[in-house]
Amino acid sequence: MNCFFEPRAIALVGASSDETKLGGIILKNLLQFKGKVYPVNPKYSEIMGLKAYPSAADIPEKCDLAIIMRPAPEVPVVLRGLQGRTGCAVIMSSGFAEIGEDKLQEEVKKISAESGIRILGPNCMGIYNPSQRLDTFFLPHERLKRPKRGNVGIVSQSGAILSCLLGAARTSRTGVSKVVGYGNAMDIDESELYEYLAEDKDTDIVVSYIESVADGRRFLEKAKILSGKKALLILKSGKGESGRAAAFSHTGRLAGRYEVFHSLLRRFNIREAMDFDGLMDAAKALSYQRPGRGNRVCIITNGGGSGVLAADECMRQGLEAATLPGHAKEKLGQVFPHFYGINNPVDLTAQVRDDDYATALEELRDDYDGFLIIALPNVMGITEGLAEKLKASMQSLSKPLVCHIAEGAIAGRLTRLIERARIPVYSSPERAVRALKALLE
Amino acid sequence: MNCFFEPRAIALVGASSDETKLGGIILKNLLQFKGKVYPVNPKYSEIMGLKAYPSAADIPEKCDLAIIMRPAPEVPVVLRGLQGRTGCAVIMSSGFAEIGEDKLQEEVKKISAESGIRILGPNCMGIYNPSQRLDTFFLPHERLKRPKRGNVGIVSQSGAILSCLLGAARTSRTGVSKVVGYGNAMDIDESELYEYLAEDKDTDIVVSYIESVADGRRFLEKAKILSGKKALLILKSGKGESGRAAAFSHTGRLAGRYEVFHSLLRRFNIREAMDFDGLMDAAKALSYQRPGRGNRVCIITNGGGSGVLAADECMRQGLEAATLPGHAKEKLGQVFPHFYGINNPVDLTAQVRDDDYATALEELRDDYDGFLIIALPNVMGITEGLAEKLKASMQSLSKPLVCHIAEGAIAGRLTRLIERARIPVYSSPERAVRALKALLE
């Protein structure tokens, strides 16, 4: 798999000089790549400042990786031409099994087996590995800015969802390690990618979007191994149609229903997200913080109603917003104004000061398994200084801590400052609770 | 109620010259008010350019409304002093029943009954009525910008949630008609506010956040009347604790559980939101569009995976992503490239052009009850021109149409343009489906 994620030299078959064409977008993105890039196109001697080659056979060295962006019917010929010239290929072209062209895909599969060339795709987005500045996606940067480098690996069957996940990761300031869109999974599938990411030192969390699984037993085996070492978050789509649902049985690849998939994940303690936002919210939480144990949650808020909504969501998520211990009631009752609510949620009211959060966290840190800070920044007592206070509290806490910041003029800046301290921030009380739940599973 | 929402003259008891104090923030916000404002504070002869009065009795005219922002123990005296000077008062001060000071609240209630002064609050945010530029909230504009004028009324027991709703309304470009935080509901409660808003010509949708209801029978009666005339969206918190849950029975105010509240709303077809985002997403949908009938939904997407996630959510919401009719399969199969997916979801793939959405909508408009447009704007074929196409399609459609735009560099601009055409846009496929569901209830 190293040839896919950390190649030294890449051949791009179907390179174009036209930046609006897919082969041009990919080449432009590959110009940033740390290693060598060889554009293949018989019509040009040079493209985007790189020497171009009429065919892969003309490239002066063997390549670790070939990227194929030619119309589907040409792919078998292209692949045969790569025999002996590369060990790995990403077939980005669509027009195979996904539109009923099974025979064409079978032919490609046969060539792959005969030539020993491992295939990612066809009909896929390929690889993004920021540590190598490797980016095979046919999405222009001016349309989709890439997320920063981080510890989240993304494995997506769908290219569309992959692009959405990248956009959401960037917006939520969640960094990525290795990103791969594997498309039709003709050869390399999610199981093999899980195996690779389980050993990848840059990756702590794996986010996986799945539409169908060919070999259910192998999938479960690799998912179990991966989730034993790292946090694995799965979003399964096609829940409604049994025909599209994953194939599962103990004997191989019988068609199965989503409910079976769901219950197997539960049984093996593999995290499953229920929707797109839930997937990215959990990924962010796990990317920012270490998971903890237990289900006792303390909510500290300056908005009573927001605290109650959070407590409701705790109940739905199986988290317990347990009552405050006696020592804390007494101590906080002494230091806080009499109109503060010394319960769980701790209600610091509209008269809140930044310091109050730190005071409450300090007193309660040993009594709960996880903490939710809610700050409505539309009162003057909440300032950007809250980020420093939370950062300091966080350091002595070493338990999961997440934050909900409501809309307000300073919300954007405050969120960025708090997230710099590795405390994930969410835009609603319920989303914050669901993220905390992901840290306590 | 007109005295609360459309007063001609207002007395502010507890006005301050200090813009960081609550009485100063309120006065500053009242400077924008269309009518007269009389600050009451014995320490000053002038505050913020307005003549100040030592007491309400010194004001040269009767006021329609008094706003009281003095410490709780002083409120009875202040209220007695207002007898004969005003018919309505907002008591913004906290320190009453919500912190166990029931006796003080009872005393205020008694004075209210004796003096005939109707009370909003205590412990409340008061009123925001943009048509009068009336804003009694103690939230500085530099901290919380107010939403624009529109057709959504907001009725919130909690001031904190009210501020969050205002922030979310502004962010989601949802305009408001009348906004009220009613706090402890000592006199005027949600039922009376529903009655008022049912007749208010500026209000088409009412968003209501409820923690507890004193008179369940009356609440249900008024909610039924309101939801018969307008869309009423309720978010009930305190679901977990039966003690906090609303009081419901056919004989008056027995304590009841949330489940009872929930099933009564269902029985009377009153919309209930399940969380904060769900409340605001539905409010936006209903604010932008007319609700429709039926449950057959058509999904048109340029991202296969996003379409499948949307179809999954349709199933969970009881909406049917029914298969395309024969005529549409045939027609669209002729005009679209062979690799487009001519199913439901219609998959326009990464090769999409803006026009394709209009083509599909035109062909399918008579066959479905509602439409979901999904556009991943990270491919070159999606441009800002999509907004014009959708606007034109919308005009001939006259059925609910919502949109999901994924992250991407043009997402922000495209969203604004589409929303200008009164098509609500959401950031995930599932949220868009839930909003469409609100339009088809």
- Among partner residues A144, A209, A376, which is closest to B408 by beta-carbon distance? A144
Model confidence at B54: pLDDT above 80: yes
Look at the alpha carbons of B347, B350, B354, B356 in this order and tell me if their dihedral is positive or negative.
negative
Is A354 a residue whose pLDDT tops 90?
yes
Q: What is the pLDDT of residue A241?
A: 53
Mutation target for B interface from A380, A410, A413, A431: give the one with most B CBs within 10 A: A380
Confidence (pLDDT) at B339: 86
d(CA B280, CA B303): 26
pLDDT, residue B255, reads 39
Q: Could you say which residues from 232 to 271 on chain A have a Cβ atom under 8 Å away from some Cβ of chain B?
A: 235, 237-241, 244
**pTM for the full model?**
0.93
Average pLDDT over residues B22-46: 96
Residue B248 pLDDT exceeds 70: no
Shortest CB distance from B237 goes to which of A238, A244, A309?
Answer: A309
Does the distance separating the beta carbons of B143 and A379 come in below 8 Å? Answer: yes
A244 contacts on B by Cβ (under 8 Å): 308
Average pLDDT, chain B: 93
Which residues neighbour A398 within 8 Å (Cβ) at sequence distance 6 or greater? A290
Q: What is the pLDDT of residue A238?
A: 82
- pLDDT band at residue B192 under the 50/70/90 scheme: very high
- For residue A159, give Cα distances in angstroms to A163, A180, A379, B31, B344: 6, 9, 43, 54, 19
Chain A closest CA to B166's CA: distance in Å?
8
Which of B161, B174, B280 to mutate: most A Cβ within 10 Å? Answer: B161
Q: Which stretch of DSSP H or E encloses residue B262?
A: helix B258-267
Let me know how many helices (H) and strands (E) chain B has, helices first: 15, 20
Examine the pLDDT at B327 and tell me if it is beyond 90. yes
For the question of an ipTM over 0.85, the answer is: yes
Q: Which helix (H) or strand (E) holds B288?
A: helix B276-288
Tokens of A72: 């589907």
Predicted pLDDT of residue B243: 34
**Residues in a beta bridge with B88:** B65, B118
How high is the pLDDT of residue A246?
30
Mean pLDDT value across residues A312-336: 95
- In this prediction, residue A242 has a pLDDT band, given cuts at 50, 70 and 90, of very low
The pLDDT value recorded for residue A98 is: 85
Residues 7-46 of B with CB under 8 A from A: 20
The verdict on A155 touching B (C-beta cutoff 8 Å) is no
Is any Cβ of chain A less than 8 angstroms from the Cβ of B411? yes
Lowest model confidence (mean pLDDT) among A432-436, B223-227, B347-351: B347-351
Average pLDDT rounded to a whole number, residues A141-153: 95
pLDDT-derived band at B256 (thresholds 50, 70, 90) equals low
Contact A95 B339 (CB under 8 A): yes
Range from A407-411, B31-35, B268-272 that averages highest in pLDDT: B31-35
pLDDT at site B113: 97
Interface test with A, best of B18, B235, B284, B309 (most A CBs within 10 A): B309
Q: Is the pLDDT of residue A179 over 50?
A: yes
Q: Do A306 and B160 touch (CB under 8 A)?
A: yes
Binned at pLDDT 50, 70 and 90, residue A182 comes out as very high
Q: What percent of chain B has pLDDT over 90?
A: 87
